[in-house]
Amino acid sequence: MAEVVVSKANLFPSSCHHQNMSVFPKTSGSSLSFSPKTDFHGKSIRLRRPFPTRSNLQFRPINSQLQQPGFRVGKARKWWVKGNQPNMKEVTSAQDLVDSLLNAGDKLVVLDFFSPGCGGCKALHPKICQFAEMNPDVQFLQVNYEEHKSMCYSLNVHVLPFFRFYRGAQGRVCSFSCTNATIKKFKDALAKHKPERCSLGPTKGLEEKELLALSANKDLEFTYTPKHVEHVSAKAAEEMIVTAPSRSSSESLPLPSATLKSGQISKERNTVSAGR
């Protein structure tokens, strides 16, 4: 390897003028020489290291810090979590969905079906958070389509974003799909079904055909017994119970002979009286 030899301590003295310096040096072998017009007077400068070649070049990636041990990259926050209110909850399973609807009582429940890759769902999410903040007495349930595809298929949900409204004993009161352009659908449904009311009967939740579809889905851990089967079994149990009439020891059944005899006596008396 060549060594660097500099004739002067200062490579760029004050007497050096830029207009007299050659921009492109002349090469000769492994050394470099500048034009004799400069203050170097043609003296050569030899470099300690050779020119970089393909064999001795070492490339370091821009994100080399990411490859160092102990370096962690923070996960981006999920957009469907940003701005969520206390009355917003993400459904974890089919059983969780059924229980959440039944435990809501007379409260209005909004079921929100979304997908992380749905642009319309992402654009509409801030609006849904605003509605949840303005209506704290309404329960919002979020169903991630990507995590619960099989459950959404059993519930016949094939369009996103999609909403279903449930209320007490009425069960499902409406269902529709909307975006930011058709957000009026959501406002109208909220204004129509939000007013306080008293439901007569137990909370319905999902329809029976939906519950049967969920229980028939092998991908879900959910069991359901149809209502008509429960009714038949209860009726059969009642028929199996035989209740005997309760009678006191003092009471006794009339004897057939005494009854017959009294009947004959009364008949003879009537005959005699008629003959008179």
70: left (phi over 0), alpha (psi -120 to 50) or beta: left
Q: What is the pLDDT of residue 226?
A: 86
Q: Is 121 a catalytic residue?
A: yes
pLDDT, residue 249, reads 46
Percent residues over pLDDT 90 in the chain: 50
For residues 125 and 117, is the Cβ–Cβ distance under 8 A? no
Q: Which of 16, 118, 129, 178 is catalytic?
A: 118
Q: How confident is the model at residue 71 (pLDDT cuts 50, 70, 90)?
A: very low
What does pLDDT average to over the chain? 75
**Structural domain boundaries in the chain:** 1-51, 88-216
**Highest CATH level, class, for 88-216:** alpha beta
For residues 83 and 61, which has the higher predicted lDDT (pLDDT)? 83
pLDDT of residue 46: 62
Mean pLDDT of 38-61: 57
CA–CA separation, 268 vs 273, rounded Å? Answer: 9
The arithmetic mean of pLDDT across residues 215-230, rounded, is 84
- The C-alpha atoms of residue 24 and residue 44 are separated, in whole angstroms, by 14
pTM assigned to the model: 0.58
Residue 276: band (very low, low, confident or very high) from pLDDT cuts 50, 70, 90? very low
Burial class (CB within 10 angstroms; exposed 0-12, middle 13-18, buried 19+) of 254: exposed
Does the pLDDT value for residue 237 go beyond 60?
Answer: no
Would you place residue 227 in the very low, low, confident or very high pLDDT band (cuts 50, 70, 90)?
Answer: confident
- The active-site residue, picked from 121, 174, 178, 198, is 121
- pLDDT per position as a tens digit, 160-203: 999 999 999 999 999 999 999 999 999 999 999 999 887 778 99
Active site residue 118: yes
Which residue(s) pair with 172 in the sheet?
A: 166
